[in-house]
């Protein structure tokens, strides 16, 4: 059996797929193909060839249905089935016997939370990290309280979500600290998000160090102009710095 997993390269996409594959593991004799990219690369389904999609079980997570609708129509003609879960615009959603769509565009959800609900709350820690990564702090905190997590655990899930999400910003995969496909593969080996943080050989420490260094560069950048609504900085030509500014502006 061939499984094709298509997912956004940010925290929400990665943590959604981790949940899904823990619930539906790929067998040792099966093939798995990962299709992803930088956070802003969302037209991913059209990248599939007819040969690859033929008779495959396809999962699409955290990319807009409307941006992929043509690709979806094409692969539905040849694939075995397609599960699509997302929280972005889906005005072009349609019904098909091979398509299972779990889409909710309410501003209080992210794909990680939708997958968690679909799986009947089997892996809520990953969903909380996804919510933090997607900036849904107030929603994540509700689940933190529901699970009676302590403050240290809450901070760890938030930090992991922010770092994995930060990794997805860039013009190309080469700009990132980790290729999202490789990052998913590495993180999926851990039982819980806390195991990632405790393992000094995991991607957590490199992501954290890179984030700290980028933020430091931004804070020391030349301030060209500023007022009560806007700050203009002159950045060096380096990967990650624009993402740092975005995060600082939204925090």
The pLDDT of residue 240 is 54
pLDDT tier for residue 220 given thresholds of 50, 70 and 90: low
* Residue 165 token pair: 């999400």
* pLDDT (average), residues 50-73: 98
What pLDDT does residue 248 have? 46
Q: What is the mean pLDDT of residues 207-225?
A: 81
Counting other chains too, the contacts that 176-180 makes at CB distance below 8 Å and 24 or more residues apart are 176/9, 176/38, 176/239, 177/203, 177/206, 177/207, 177/210, 177/240, 178/203, 178/206, 178/207, 180/7, 180/9, 180/10, 180/13, 180/14, 180/36, 180/37, 180/38
What predicted TM-score, i.e. pTM, was given to this entire model? Answer: 0.91
Tell whether the model's pLDDT for residue 249 goes beyond 80.
Answer: no
Q: How many helices and strands in the chain, by DSSP H and E?
A: 11, 7
Interhelix angle for 241-250 vs 204-219, to 10°?
Answer: 80
Least confidently predicted of 129-143, 154-168, 208-222: 208-222
pLDDT of residue 26: 97
- If one counts every other C-beta atom within 10 angstroms of the C-beta of residue 77, the result is 11
Per-residue pLDDT for 239 more than 90? no
In this predicted structure, the answer to whether residue 250 has a pLDDT above a threshold of 70 is: no
Residue 1 C-alpha from the chain's centroid: 25
160 — pLDDT class (breaks 50, 70, 90) = very high
- Mean pLDDT across the chain, nearest whole number? 92
pLDDT at 164 over 80: yes
State mean pLDDT over 180-204. Answer: 98
Q: Between 111 and 240, where is the model more confident?
A: 111
**Average confidence (pLDDT) over 7-35:** 98
Residue 219's pLDDT band (cuts 50, 70, 90): confident
pLDDT at 210: 94
Name the 3-class secondary structure at 103: strand
Q: What is the mean pLDDT of residues 131-149?
A: 98
pLDDT of residue 223: 72
Q: Is pLDDT above 60 for 178?
A: yes
What pLDDT, on the 0 to 100 scale, is given for residue 218? Answer: 72
| pLDDT tens per residue across span 78-129 | 999 999 999 998 999 999 999 999 999 999 999 999 999 999 999 999 999 9
Kindly indicate the confidence band of residue 234, based on its pLDDT and cuts at 50, 70 and 90.
Answer: low
Domains of the chain: 2-212 (3.90.1640), 216-250 (no CATH)
């Amino acid at each position: 059996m061939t499984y094709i997993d298509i997912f956004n390269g940010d925290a929400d996409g990665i943590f959604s797929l981790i949940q899904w594959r823990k619930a539906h593991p790929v067998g040792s004799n099966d093939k798995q193909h990962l299709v992803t990219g930088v956070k802003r690369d969302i037209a991913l389904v059209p990248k599939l060839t007819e040969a690859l999609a033929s008779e495959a079980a396809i999962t699409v997570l955290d990319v807009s249905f409307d941006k992929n609708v043509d690709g979806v129509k094409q692969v539905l003609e040849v694939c075995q089935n397609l599960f699509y879960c997302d929280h972005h615009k889906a005005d072009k959603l349609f019904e098909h016997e091979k398509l299972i769509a779990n889409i909710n565009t309410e501003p209080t959800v992210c794909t990680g939370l939708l997958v968690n609900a679909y799986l009947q709350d089997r892996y809520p820690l990953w969903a909380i990290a996804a919510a933090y990564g997607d900036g849904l702090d107030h929603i994540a905190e509700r689940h933190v309280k529901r699970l009676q997590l302590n403050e240290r655990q809450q901070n760890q899930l938030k930090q992991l979500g922010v770092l994995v999400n930060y990794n997805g910003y860039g013009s190309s995969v080469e700009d990132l600290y980790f290729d999202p496909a490789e990052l998913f593969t590495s993180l999926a080996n851990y039982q819980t998000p806390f195991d990632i943080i405790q393992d000094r050989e995991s991607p957590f420490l490199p992501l954290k160090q890179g984030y700290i260094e980028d933020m430091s560069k931004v804070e020391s950048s030349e301030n060209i102009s500023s007022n009560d609504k806007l700050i203009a900085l002159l950045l060096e030509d380096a990967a990650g710095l624009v993402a740092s500014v975005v995060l600082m502006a939204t925090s």
